[in-house]
Chains A and B, each alone.
Chain A
Amino acid sequence: MKFRTVRRHFRESFKTLGRNGWMSFASIAAVTVTLLLVGVFVTIMLNLNKVADDLEKDVEMKVYVELSADPAATRELETQIKETSGVAEVQYSTRDQELDKMVKDFGEDLKLYEQSNPLREAFYVKATEPQQTAKVAKKIDEYPNTYEVVYGQGKVEKLFNFLNLGRNAGLVLILALLFTAMFLIANTIRITIVARKTEIGIMKLVGATNSFVRIPFVLEGIWLGLFGSLIPMIIITLGYMEFYDYAEPRLRGEMIQIIHPLPFLYIVNGLVLFMGIFIGSWGSFMSVRKFLKV
């Protein structure tokens, strides 16, 4: 294709974009909303995945002591745990300390349990390596005064359940929005095609090739998708950087970390841009095929 032709197609596609301004605006708005949700959704999901990964790597487990165990039995359990192979560190926590932690996490309301504390004593045990955690936990679970051993696994499973639920709900919503956006674009292009029926007829009559007739309409759709992806990209970039600046210092030294903005934002923005172009070209393709029998 000649450069002059390419220029002409670009010019024509922009001209019509302005000519049916309101439809163009509606299409771009629909794409914007869709892609913003896609971007936010993907950002959250990827970060939750990362959190799940981090949790799996956690070496810490918590050993609850049987309520029936007297102080001597508790001390014996502590020795047993310390002597278990793969254990790096053991820390004892009294029932009062456990309650303090609960109060810290869930609020002052729990203070009323100070009268009769229902909690168990606990040991915080660290394995030498993350891979050892499951094995060590199983061993400790067999000791007579152990009530229960919990570690990352449980949290991870809960998180994965939540992830799956969120993913399915999100996908349904996004698919619906995607179709709406595509439908709006298809409709915008259809209006353009109908408005230029005479012109298209003359083009065909004097021997313009089919692609020559089609390309401006496809381009118009691509612009709609492209413009629709701009605002989401900006919001996601600025928003995530802001969030990262807020969360990162607070998570310093923690097991759980959120994803660094780079190259993460390139990937998410790349996805948003790709989807914008995809929605635009597919929307216009549907109209062009249906209403432009060339």
Chain B
Amino acid sequence: MIEMKEVYKKYSNGVVAANGLNVKIDKGEFVYVVGPSGAGKSTFIKMMYREEKPTSGEILINGTSLPKLKNRKVPLLRRQIGVVFQDFKLLPRLSVYENVAFALEVIEEPTENIRPRVTEVLELVGLKHKARMLPTELSGGEQQRVSIARSIVNRPQVVIADEPTGNLDPETSMGIMNVLEQINEMGTTIVMATHNKDIVNRNRHRVIAIEGGLIVRDELEGGYGYEI
């Protein structure tokens, strides 16, 4: 469902962050994108939800070419993709419930669908009882669960996460991994950029290792494979 062909990305400052990426990710897969800092993981992720356009090459999601996609159509692409970040990106003035409902409101989901669906995903990430709280009243792990709930609330086919455990301690990170794996088991494709060796080694999935904008290794059930 996701395919990159000879993807090359050069930023305006001359940095080459993708230097001929070829990759194919099937529906329902769980994929780690690993590599040292500055390897090009975030660029890889950003090109998948068209935050960045490749300088050349082709990226297909469900047959849609992202480089050729008109700006006007980007919102429709984004509705098929959930995105999770290291810094959660929650709105501090909105409650947990409102933060998740927000994602449905701004895509004009019918009102009657919003409450049941938000309740459902909050239950899935184990935060139904904290729906009325503000993000600042939650721990980091809980905030990340809210952001995951928001990313899946409109039933995207793929969730991409850029260092979702980057700000969390190991134990909390495991909790987040459990949530992501649960979502994956329900059929959602997961692409997760990380440089957390323990997680990659413990929760075994396909590993795509990037270095200097190149895929240096791509193996199923692979470990992290680096000594940091």
Contact = CB atoms under 8 A, between A and B. Distances in A.
The answer to whether A binds B is yes
Interface in A113-144: none
A130 to B, nearest CB: 62
Contacts of A2: 108
Interface in B96-123: 102-103, 105-108, 111
A33 B100 CA distance: 44
A208 B107 contact: yes
- Binding site of A, secondary structure by majority: helix, strand, loop or mixed? helix
A209 B73 CA distance: 9
Categorize the interface residue count of chain B.
Answer: 20 to 34
A243 B226 CA distance: 87
Interface stretch (B30-38, B61-69, B75-83, B187-195): B75-83
A206 B79 contact: yes
A207 B108 contact: no
A4 interface: yes
Nearest to B153: A206
Nearest to A294: B71
B99 to A, nearest CB: 9
B132 interface: no
Contacts of A198: 89, 91
A202 B107 contact: no
A99 B100 CA distance: 89
A196 to B, nearest CB: 9
Interface string B122-146: 0000000000000000000000000
Given A2-B108, A208-B106, A202 B89 contact: yes
B41 interface: no
Interface in A175-220: 198-199, 201-210, 212
B72 interface: yes
A217 to B, nearest CB: 14
B106 A206 contact: yes
Nearest to A202: B89
A212 B106 contact: yes
A4 to B, nearest CB: 6
A206 B91 contact: no
B89 A207 contact: no
Contacts of B106: 203, 206-208, 212
Most buried by A among B49, B107, B111: B107
B91 A8 contact: no
Most buried by A among B75, B76, B78, B83: B75
A203 B75 CA distance: 9
A168 interface: no
Given A198-B89, A201-B89, A205-B83, A212 B78 contact: no
Interchain residue pairs A-B with the least CB separation, the first 6? A207-B78, A207-B79, A208-B106, A206-B103, A207-B75, A209-B75
